Amino acid sequence: MDHPLTEIRHLKQHIGQTVALRGWVRNARTSKTRFIDLRDGSGFVQCVVGAAEADPESYELAGRLTQEAAILLEGKVQQHPRTGEPEILATKVTLVGDSVDYPITPKEHGTAFLMENRHLWLRSKRQWAILRVRHTIAKAIRDFFDGDGFTLLDAPILTPSACEGTSNLFGTQYFDEGMAFLSQSGQLYQEPGLAAFGKTYCFGPTFRAEKSKTRRHLTEFWMVEPEMAFAHLEDVMVLGERLTKFIIQRVLEGRREELAILERDLAPLETTLNATFDRMTYTEAVTRLKELGSDINWGEDFGNDDETILMNATDRPLWVHRFPKSFKAFYMEPDPQDPKLALGADLLAPEGYGEVIGGGERASSLQYLLDQIAHEGLERADYEWYLDVRKYGSVPHAGFGLGLERAVAWICKLPHVRETAPYPRMMGTIRP
């Protein structure tokens, strides 16, 4: 290499200079002049290989490059006369690794085929854009909590008991201790942390053996779970709203190119950024749903369709709070105004997306939790450590979980969560 190596993302700083790039051929077109669409993971650039500037071997090689061949390319950076974007006038092209019959061609492919080839599909422009938005959201989440006085308290993945009901647990034999389960949520492990740190969060993979095939459900997904001492339902809604806006702000600041690739309409995101989120009780939401044509009855959980109907009708997120206790988790604080209700709150995203956050205030009474554990048929012995939070300095506390993939799907406006994870796990999908 005779010239300084750089990355496509830095090309604007090199206009007029000769540089070296390393990357893969998205597409190569051959006429008298040869064109290479090059990508290097940091961006995309068009390279022009003409017989006048390039040496004869390079010119010849450029004429037989195939899709996804890896190359080293040297050339002069210039501005495209029409778009103003950098392009490269190549002087030298070297083959690093060839690529024969790359399976994902520019033609349309079915989703099943693309999912089987997920490890290659990652290279496509759209997947690149989505996963870079995911990265930015994950980083924004960490920065938000780190900057807000929360201590990171990693929760275990192998756990002895259920947090979100026993019907969707993945189990595995754990030595002589009996069954262990892949964690559905780190929440129960955050609660003891409060008395040590005041405000904590965990952010990691969680698992649900969901036997449903929907556009919102994965069996393995990432969740961030903040938990606050001396906090109530109201604090959950305030924190969740601040977090959501912080995430959107970061994506709008740093991922314009990716959102443009995805053809994401930015107006609804900007509305969310500037809006005060709507709020409604569950009971009000049921009335609204009936007006919108749903056949839901009071006491039933929202189905996917209900969330879609409710959120198609609005351009900003909606907090639904105070749900019937009957379908919510055992740990929720009952509503002092109406013991049939639990002090939970879900944030539903607009444009039909539905739930992205679920949380609420936690029961702080030992006796109430003991009754709940018995009522749900859970083993008290598995929860003794959790109950200790209520024995030694019990305080009102609250928190929530935000699903990373749901947030990415909404912010990128994707039809399905499967594209939001590098290697999605769903019912029927374990490879690659």
Candidate segments 216-224, 266-274, 301-309, 333-341, binder of ligand 4AD by CB under 6 A: 216-224
Q: Which of residues 166-205 bind ligand 4AD (CB under 6 A)?
A: 185, 187
Tokens of 335: 């509503």
Is 363 a binding residue for ligand 4AD by CB under 6 A? The answer is no
Q: CA nearest 332: which of 270, 392, 397, 389?
A: 397
What is the nearest approach in angstroms of ligand 4AD to the Cβ of residue 176? 29
**233-254 helix and 404-412 helix, angle to the nearest 10 degrees:** 50
Is 218 a binding residue for ligand 4AD by CB under 6 A? The answer is yes
What is the nearest approach in angstroms of ligand 4AD to the Cβ of residue 12? 37
Residue 310 binds which one of Mg ion, ligand 4AD, none, with CB within 5 to 8 A depending on kind? none
What is the nearest approach in angstroms of ligand 4AD to the Cβ of residue 371? 20
* Distance, CA of 348 to CA of 357 (rounded, Å): 7
Is 217 a binding residue for ligand 4AD by CB under 6 A? The answer is yes
For β-strands 70-79 and 18-30, DSSP reports them as antiparallel
What is the nearest approach in angstroms of Mg ion to the Cβ of residue 22? 45
What is the nearest approach in angstroms of Mg ion to the Cβ of residue 223? 10
What is the nearest approach in angstroms of ligand 4AD to the Cβ of residue 183? 10
Pick the closer one to ligand 4AD by CB: 106 or 428. 428
What is the nearest approach in angstroms of Mg ion to the Cβ of residue 166? 16
Residue 221 binds which one of Mg ion, ligand 4AD, none, with CB within 5 to 8 A depending on kind? ligand 4AD
* Distance, CA of 188 to CA of 125 (rounded, Å): 39
* Distance, CA of 418 to CA of 425 (rounded, Å): 8
What is the nearest approach in angstroms of ligand 4AD to the Cβ of residue 339? 21
118-126 contact pairs (CB < 8 A, 24+):
118/422, 118/423, 118/424, 118/432, 119/423, 119/432, 122/422, 123/24, 123/39, 123/68, 125/26, 125/39, 125/44, 125/261, 126/261, 126/262, 126/419
* Distance, CA of 24 to CA of 37 (rounded, Å): 8
Tokens of 83: 């778009």
Pick the closer one to Mg ion by CB: 86 or 358. 358
Candidate segments 46-54, 146-154, 278-286, 397-405, binder of ligand 4AD by CB under 6 A: 397-405
Pick the closer one to ligand 4AD by CB: 59 or 144. 144
Query: How many residues sit in the footprint of Mg ion (CB under 5 A)?
Result: 1
Q: Which of residues 301-360 bind Mg ion (CB under 5 A)?
A: 358
Binding mask 357-376 for Mg ion (x = CB under 5 A): -x------------------
Is 354 a binding residue for ligand 4AD by CB under 6 A? The answer is no
Q: Which one of 193, 317, 350, 359 is in contact with ligand 4AD (CB under 6 A)? A: 359
Q: Can you list the alpha helix ranges (DSSP code H) found in 343-393?
A: 366-375, 380-391
Is 403 a binding residue for ligand 4AD by CB under 6 A? The answer is yes
Classified as helix, coil or strand, 142 is helix
Q: CA nearest 79: which of 35, 49, 45, 52?
A: 45
Tokens of 281: 């009780």
Q: Where are the beta strands (DSSP E) in 184-296?
A: 199-207, 220-229, 278-281
Q: Which one of 223, 233, 247, 286 is in contact with ligand 4AD (CB under 6 A)? A: 223
Cis ω before 156 (30° cut-off from 0): no
What is the nearest approach in angstroms of ligand 4AD to the Cβ of residue 420? 9
Classified as helix, coil or strand, 197 is helix
Q: Please, which residues bridge with residue 333 across strands? A: none
Which residues touch 405 (CB under 8 Å, ≥6 apart)? 218, 221, 222, 417, 420, 421
Residue 187 binds which one of ligand 4AD, Mg ion, none, with CB within 5 to 8 A depending on kind? ligand 4AD
Residue 357 binds which one of ligand 4AD, Mg ion, none, with CB within 5 to 8 A depending on kind? ligand 4AD
What is the nearest approach in angstroms of Mg ion to the Cβ of residue 301? 9
Query: How many residues sit in the footprint of ligand 4AD (CB under 6 A)?
Result: 24
Binding site for ligand 4AD (CB under 6 A): 163-164, 185, 187, 208, 210, 217-218, 221, 223, 225, 355-359, 399-403, 405-406, 417
Binding site for Mg ion (CB under 5 A): 358
